[in-house]
Amino acid sequence: MTQRWNGVSEAEIHLLGYLSCLLSVLEGSPGSLWGYSFAATASATPFSLELNATIDQLLGAGLLEDVSGLFGETQRGRRELAIWTSLGRMSGTRSRYLDAACASTSSLTPPLVLEALRKDPQLETYREQAARPLLDESGVAMVQAHFQALKQVVGTWSTPLVPAVVWLSSLPASPRLVD
């Protein structure tokens, strides 16, 4: 990713992973290709068991560190990331969507992105219910109407950052852009 963090919370990792997956769905990829399934929690936030296990593995391998509940990459983690991102397989679409999701926090801070995403049709539908799967067939159908309208308004784009910020800003009661 091109953006450097001073630290990111576990909830923000799940949030940005979910937003990345949503952006890939926007451009026509099935959410299942990510290999991470997401569920809506009772607090209307996205959560992935697979992503959580990956965080634990990265912490155990010394590639991430946890400082007061904020995760950051270690020096060893930065070196590993540089190696993996140099490989052709890792330079594909995933990093495109991850970069866009992370860059959206330059216009809307992570807490504002979370508040906007809570208005995602799926998360809104599952509010106050037990964990429910997101981005399954019916979930993708829920967000397709939003994405189709977005395509009509925005047209084409070279980076998914544009639709990310526009979509998040268009959700009901969404926050205004950061100055």
Task: Please give the pLDDT value at position 98.
Answer: 87
Q: What are the beta bridge partners of residue 107?
A: none
DSSP per residue over 88-106, as a string?
GGGGSHHHHHHHHHHHGGG
Cα separation values, 76 from 8, 41, 54, 81, Å: 18, 33, 16, 9
Among 84-93, 95-104, 115-124, 160-169, which range has the highest average pLDDT? 95-104
pLDDT, tens digit (0-9, with 9 covering 90-100), for 52-106: 999 999 999 999 999 989 999 999 999 998 888 777 655 566 888 888 888 888 8
pTM of the model: 0.79
Q: What are phi and psi of 133, to 5 degrees?
A: -65, 145
The residue whose two tokens read 């990459």 is: 73
| Mean pLDDT, range 155-162, rounded to an integer | 76
Per-residue pLDDT for 176 more than 70?
A: no
**69 Cβ contact partners less than 8 Å away, ≥ 6 residues apart:** 9, 10
